[in-house]
Structure 1
């Protein structure tokens, strides 16, 4: 699955993107019919029943195939309900986002890509072909969105925001292979962290345009309320993070670097609040976990980019929150997967620093 970085452009209100090319050959277009399968008999060729399937009929250029219609149906009857338990939010994903896709094809392609990844979980016999469809649609979606990201206007700010959300979900939902294309180089840093940072840039650079859409207020209100709580609440001491904090203060001599690491830890403490009480909803826990991705400073992200061991140790504690969100289909498995990648990237000394998250997750090195 190709990956995308969305970062604030220094030259204006555009968002610069880096797309990486998949290591495997690009999957065939969904608009091209499958190869013919025939049964040879003396003097003739008889088309096999498999060829008569609607999924294998050639489709005129510019038309959507039957599989695309199946994916859109799956999104509006199943996938859309997995993003939130709030009825208004669910209805927005079910009705408004696909309708938005009819005007902005990169949104529709993102919808189809994510639906294909979701459907592949329930159709093991079709898993490979559905993942192939997801790659095709994501490639198309990204190619269409790239020029728009470099020249954002008030008209396309909202569709680009939802394109960014869909792309982040796709990054999470993609298969976690040992050579995962969503991992930068050979390090442990997942691409979805940069995608979340990119979404923040889209919001910050176009907040007036996005928030001016009255129909979106209910989506942002919960986040605004959580942000107020986040900023005004003093988090209680956290046993595991306190130990890491003390270790960092002892070993990190660079005052500026230490400040960035401690800020990231303080933000994690605020996220953990929502997981230590039954008074919060699943939606609030999800928002609280990913609030950390928005709140960490850019200098901390730069440390992760250069595969800094101390920053990786802080990221390991975030894996605990991912593990506690394992009931969410597109997050499932990421806590274990990411802690394993971090462990592999650290030397023996630093591996002792992350014993708490390893044991909390229940992962065995």
Structure 2
């Protein structure tokens, strides 16, 4: 897909009337491409728009097939298939985003018409972002559900549009300027974390409404509860902290080391929840780590601090274990390869296990690291 060039980003910065984290993230990370010019200062009602036969095709595809990318459980799929579409008829920014995402999906499903659907996706996404900016800057009871749905779909759009043949910049950006032919993914994790702002300010309304089906599965799991891990997983994850412990050569400040410990605990929680009975859906569990990472650790990942990148490498194991789902397929391998390239040599003690699980021991020339070695046994 052609990248979203600077027009939309410039427009959003110029017209932003608040300092909301999500609004700032959108302004900084998204570029726009030439497309329909829609005023960001007004939000016309649905009757002000006319949609084409192509748009109807996109909406049909979304409701029939596309919703499976948002939830891997029935009630969640029904939510995005019905309620979210009903909201989209009230809030054009959400409708344009749905159509943009459906066009992206169709570009993969029908490669012979990929360019055709890419163009439609870019046009709708540009319009969606322009209309969304004033809405997220002025959250109300009336628009909070539509804004929440928008943030979920936007992250899924970014996640889905990742090219597995290119470096993955989910947590950190490239060293140089991004390739103009790609959709920018630099630190897209911040988009996912941005939805927390929507939740925190409108929690009661969201929890009482139809979106409660996304939150209810978590009600039986305290945010600090770490379910029992697979013994092998536990050994490897517990050994990871030795990379930044007080006895290691690591010279990070104590506060940052504590942040890494907290992020590691939350990663253990993800590993545990993936095998716990009656836990939330696997996709929900894997994605939950994005919002549980301490701010200072997320910033360390963005700066490519090596100890923080080790956490990303181990997180790739979780992504890989859900690769049977189309949304997750290939993402763990792609992110791990990118992370290993950034890490460079000297970290094999800790990267051996995720490499073996995600890429296979053949990827490392047959060398492997045994559990006995990790645990210090002779």
State the partner residue of 1:200.
196
Match of residue 239 from structure 2:
243
The DSSP-based 3-state class of the residue aligned with 2:224 is helix
Structure 1 unmatched runs, 5+: 31-60
Farther-moved stretch of structure 1 (64-73 vs 342-351): 342-351
Going by fraction, where is strand more abundant, 1 or 2? 1
TM-score w.r.t. structure 1 length?
A: 0.79
CA contact (8 A) 2:173 2:302 kept: no
SS for the counterpart of 1:307 is coil
1:48 maps to which residue? none
Match of 2:43 in 1: none
Say whether 1:220 aligns with 2:207: no
Deviation string 1:4-55 (CA, Å, 9 cap, x unpaired) is 99xxx9x7777432335778x825559xxxxxxxxxxxxxxxxxxxxxxxxx
- Asked if 1:88 corresponds to 2:75, the answer is yes
Match of 1:173 in 2: 160
Q: CA, structure 1 residues 322+113, in 2 after alignment: closer, same or farther (shift >3 Å)? A: same
Counterpart of 2:310 (choices 310, 313, 326) is 313
**Structure 1 residues 259, 156: CA separation in 2 closer, same or farther (over 3 Å shift)?**
same
CA distance in 2, matches of 1:2, 1:180: 18
Q: Which 10-residue stretch deviates more, 164-173 or 326-335?
A: 326-335
1:265-344 equivalence runs, <5 A = 265-276=264-275, 279=277, 284-344=281-341
**Distance in 2 (alpha carbons) for counterparts of 1:145 and 1:342:** 32
Q: Among 112, 128, 137, which residue is 1:125 paired with? A: 112
| Partner of residue 231, structure 1 | 224
**Matches of residues 131-210 of structure 1 in structure 2 within 5 Å?**
131-176=118-163, 178=166, 185-186=173-174, 191-210=187-206
What is the root-mean-square deviation in Å for CA atoms of aligned residues?
3.2
- Is 1:105 aligned to 2:103, yes or no? no
CA shift, 1:80, in A, is: 1.6
Q: What is aligned with 2:263?
A: 264
CA distance in 2, matches of 1:210, 1:256: 34
Structure-2 change in CA distance of 1:190 and 1:288 (3 Å): farther
Indicate the SS of the match to 1:154.
coil
Query: 1:349 deviation in Å?
Result: 1.4
CA contact (8 A) 1:211 1:217 kept: yes
Distance in 1 (CA, whole Å) between partners of 2:171 and 2:301 is: 12
Which is higher, the Rg of structure 1 or of structure 2? 1
Structure 2: runs of 5 or more not aligned: 10-15, 38-47, 177-184, 365-378
